[in-house]
Amino acid sequence: MPELPEVEAARSAIAEHCIGKKIMKAIIADDSKVIVDVSRSEFESSLLNKTIVAAHRKGKNMWLQLDSPPFPSFQFGMAGAIYIKGVAVTKYKRSAVNDADEWPSKYSKFFIELHDGLEISFTDKRRFAKVRLLDDPASVLPISGLGPDALLEPMTEGEFFNSMSKKKIAIKPLLLDQNFVSGIGNWVADEVLYQARIHPSQVASSLSKDESARLLKCIKEVIQHAVEVDADSQRFPFDWLFHNRWGKKPGKVDGKKIDFITSGGRTTAYVPELQKLRGVQATKAPDKPRKQTSKKKKDDDNNDEEHDDNGHDDGAGREEEMENVKSKQMKNGTSGKQTPRRKKSTKDDDVDDKEDDNDDVRDDKTTRTRDSRVSAKRKSQGMDANKSEKSSGRKKATSKSKSRKSNDSDDSDDGNDE
């Protein structure tokens, strides 16, 4: 999901190349899942002949200020990206679409042409983004509900420590909570916790003042550096965890092994040798590393996959729930023995995204296969029951015949008993 550095790179590019230019053409996608609460025709007519005055951002949200309202607002979701034709704009690792052969891209949801011929497109190949037309984007949700921006409104050490001291949850999901601080996503959270040498599952309220100050310093430094290089990951320091955390592939950073766990419903990369639980948590059972396979739980994002802007990994939660249900069914013997799936190796990070989209299909196929096996088993049991009933009937008939032959002797015995 595009995080603060990627969204800031898009805002900066628009501010540099588009301010003061008039919109001469507008094409809005007929996609009500992405284009929220406004018709295509109304959106397009509201943009024509307007001049771009400024580009704003808070957290992972961006909006364009025109010379008069309403203004277009962009919530980037999982794969939203800004393209300016002829201008290099950094995209999130998994957001890029191929705009070389087709312009605007088939994934374009918002397209405008300016009076000097410059063209801008907002694309979303996963359709989790939201594009709105608002009179004052900063005064309404989702932007009005965001916490302080991690870059523009940094907390002081005292504010940060006092805020965390009230939070009885793990530090990783707290950093992902956009109501606590806005702009931090999965890769930034993993990076700052690694650099601060803090375990992702450490309870926030248990952090000391020194740990809190160290974490705040890392947040500022990581975000500031990523923004300064326009979120170009090739220009990130070589010793950052970022370069080795994708796809849950086995790896090392500075010679130390990287493991993967789930924290706050998100795939989390950390270095056990450097990031240790402390205090009461250190005596509890250690985290179990996630199996490093290409099959994603539905939200990495996360998973760097599907999750909302409050840091919740909706997809991962659904997948975990499905896995729990399957596990219970197998334990209860309701589905019988099943042939285990073969693990597929991951060739690159895009495979993970494709498997996210196909998980529901797989689950449906698994369910149908399970149902057919149960049905076959029930038929088999029914046939056995019929055979048993016929055999029982023959035995009963034989028993009745024998009973008739012995009635006289039985009556005699009864008389003697009396």
The verdict on whether 3 is a catalytic residue reads yes
Sheet of 130-134: strand order equals 52-58, 61-66, 71-75, 130-134
Name 253's bridge partners.
256
Contact between 327 and 27 under an 8 Å Cβ cutoff? The reply is no
Distance, in Å, from the CA atom of 23 to the CA atom of 25, rounded to the nearest integer, reads 6
Question: Residues 6 or more apart from 101 whose CB is under 8 A from it?
Answer: none
Contact between 6 and 186 under an 8 Å Cβ cutoff? The reply is no
SS3 content of the chain, % helix, strand, coil (to 5): 45, 15, 40
Question: Residues 6 or more apart from 330 whose CB is under 8 A from it?
Answer: 338
Catalytic residue from among 2, 5, 70, 104: 2
The verdict on whether 289 is a catalytic residue reads no
Sheet of 119-124: strand order equals 23-28, 108-114, 119-124, 80-84
Strand, coil or helix: 96:
coil
Distance, in Å, from the CA atom of 119 to the CA atom of 111, rounded to the nearest integer, reads 7
Bridging pattern class, strands 130-134 and 108-114: unpaired
Cβ atoms within 10 Å, residue 349: 15
Cβ atoms within 10 Å, residue 325: 11
Distance, in Å, from the CA atom of 316 to the CA atom of 303, rounded to the nearest integer, reads 7
Q: What are the CA-CA distances from residue 325 to residues 236, 288, 321, 392 (Å)? A: 42, 20, 6, 40
Catalytic residue from among 60, 91, 130, 297: 60
Catalytic residue from among 3, 8, 305, 319: 3
The verdict on whether 2 is a catalytic residue reads yes
Q: Which residues are catalytic?
A: 2-3, 60
